Amino acid sequence: MKSILETYVDKEIWLLIRDKWYFSRIINVVDDLLWFKHKTHNKETEEDTLWEMVVKIEEIIAIDKVISVMSRKPDVFMSRLLEVDNNTNNHQQDNEK
């Protein structure tokens, strides 16, 4: 598990620790410890809190690689869709030449 986690240093990944999933950015893997950052969202105050945690690697049950992240904000979501569409169109035009 340690060698797998080391490949994700400074990348975002889902970690299942004990019985809770954390969307986290791995900072470092040292000896038998994993150091990572994750956010929590308070729905009542609409605030995000950034946490740094250190856990024993043996407490990690599973990992899940993040393929992509989509924003829930409509304007950001739409601009990303347009960006993907433009890249697809440009790629198709390049193949037609």
What confidence tens digit (pLDDT) does each residue in 10-53 have?
Answer: 998 999 999 999 999 999 999 999 999 999 888 888 899 999 99
Amino acid at 58: E
Number of domains in the chain: 2
Contact 23, 12 (CB under 8 A): yes
Q: Specify whether 62 is located in the same domain as 76.
A: no
What confidence tens digit (pLDDT) does each residue in 69-86 have?
Answer: 666 667 766 676 677 667
Question: DSSP string covering 34-85, please?
Answer: EEEEEEEEETTTTEEEEEEEEEEGGGEEEEEE------SSHHHHHHHHHHHH
Q: Specify whether 74 is located in the same domain as 50.
A: no
Contact 8, 29 (CB under 8 A): no
Query: Domain range for residue 5?
Result: 1-66
**Dihedral pair phi/psi, residue 23, rounded to 5°:** -90, 110
CATH code, domain with 34:
2.30.30
Q: Specify whether 46 is located in the same domain as 5.
A: yes
